[in-house]
């Protein structure tokens, strides 16, 4: 790794830490330069603006999330239902840890908020759709499940409910809402274990 690469990595790591802790709007390039003991000239050599830096931070964070989700999907040593629950918890945890940043982006940086929504949609759509298709093939999900429809339903709910303003209105966190929201969908598409057959009705005897 070159010296320039190392500097860029340090900037991204510190920027992500600051954005997650303090929110996007309260962090300045001056703050980052001071914390990194780096001149503003050097900082701007790597990133032309705070918005450009924020966009790369978002892309890197979603790339890591995507890699984590892909690892869960591909670990076939684990039963499908367990992987599905882990998938959901991982998504919920990511949104929960980013609550301050997400609230700031929605309110103060609409361009970055839209970028985040688009990248999130692309990342989740491809992986979750393939995961559901694998579940149908494995017999863990109902055979009549259409993965593309389920994914579209989920993404619509994510876009409409996993918004900082909606979470505040509902007085609920992303970690609480995400499992409940997906539970409504997933409980409807899981294969239900077959119970014991209903007891046969006894024939009525002759009336007295």
| Tokens standing for residue 99 | 């609550």
Phi, psi of 7 (to 5 degrees): -65, -45
| Tokens standing for residue 160 | 């409409």
In this predicted structure, which of 141-145, 164-168, 199-203 has the lowest mean pLDDT?
Answer: 199-203
Q: What is the pLDDT of residue 45?
A: 94
Between 89 and 35, name the one with better pLDDT. 35
In a domain, 140, yes or no: yes
Domain count along the chain: 1
Confidence of residue 14 (pLDDT cuts 50, 70, 90): very high
Cα–Cα dist 140/189, whole Å: 9
In a domain, 116, yes or no: yes
Tell me the CATH number at 123.
1.10.357.10
Between 173 and 45, name the one with better pLDDT. 45
Q: What is the pLDDT of residue 41?
A: 93
In a domain, 179, yes or no: yes
Confidence of residue 191 (pLDDT cuts 50, 70, 90): low
Percentage of residues in the chain with pLDDT exceeding 90?
30
Q: What is the pLDDT of residue 202?
A: 55
In a domain, 102, yes or no: yes
Phi, psi of 205 (to 5 degrees): -80, 170
In a domain, 206, yes or no: no
Strand-pair partners of 141: 190
Does the pLDDT at position 207 exceed 60? no
Q: What is the pLDDT of residue 101?
A: 87
CB 104 within 8 A of CB 25: yes
CB 15 within 8 A of CB 32: yes
In a domain, 197, yes or no: no
Q: What is the pLDDT of residue 201?
A: 53
In a domain, 163, yes or no: yes
pLDDT tens, 87-136?
Answer: 878 877 787 778 788 888 888 899 998 888 888 888 777 788 888 888 88
Residues of the domain holding 167:
58-189
Confidence of residue 54 (pLDDT cuts 50, 70, 90): very high
**Nearest of 78, 114, 98, 135 to residue 18 by alpha carbon:** 98
Does the pLDDT at position 74 exceed 80? yes
Between 82 and 91, name the one with better pLDDT. 82
How long, in residues, is the chain?
Answer: 208
Task: Centre a 10 Å sphere on the Cβ of residue 43 and count the other Cβ atoms it contains.
Answer: 19
Helix, strand, coil share (%) of the chain residues, nearest 5: 75, 0, 25
In a domain, 35, yes or no: no
Residue with tokens 């539970």: 183
């Amino acid at each position: 790794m070159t010296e320039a690469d190392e500097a860029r990595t340090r900037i991204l790591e510190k920027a992500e830490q600051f954005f997650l802790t303090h929110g996007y709007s309260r962090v300045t390039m001056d703050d980052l330069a001071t914390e990194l003991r780096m001149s503003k000239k050097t900082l701007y050599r790597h990133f032309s603006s705070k918005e450009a830096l924020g966009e790369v931070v978002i892309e890197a964070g979603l790339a890591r999330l995507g890699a984590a989700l892909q690892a869960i999907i591909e670990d076939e040593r684990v039963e499908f239902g367990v992987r599905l629950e882990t998938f959901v918890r991982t998504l919920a945890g990511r949104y929960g840890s980013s609550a301050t940043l997400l609230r700031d982006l929605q309110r103060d940086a609409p361009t970055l908020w839209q970028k985040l929504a688009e990248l999130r949609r692309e990342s989740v759509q491809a992986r979750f759709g393939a995961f559901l298709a694998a579940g149908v093939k494995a017999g863990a999900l109902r055979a009549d499940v259409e993965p593309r429809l389920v994914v579209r339903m989920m993404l619509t709910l994510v876009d409409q409910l996993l918004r900082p303003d909606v979470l505040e209105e509902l007085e609920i966190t992303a970690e609480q809402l995400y499992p409940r929201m997906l539970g409504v969908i997933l409980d409807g598409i899981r294969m239900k274990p077959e119970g014991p057959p209903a007891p046969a009705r006894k024939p009525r005897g002759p009336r007295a």
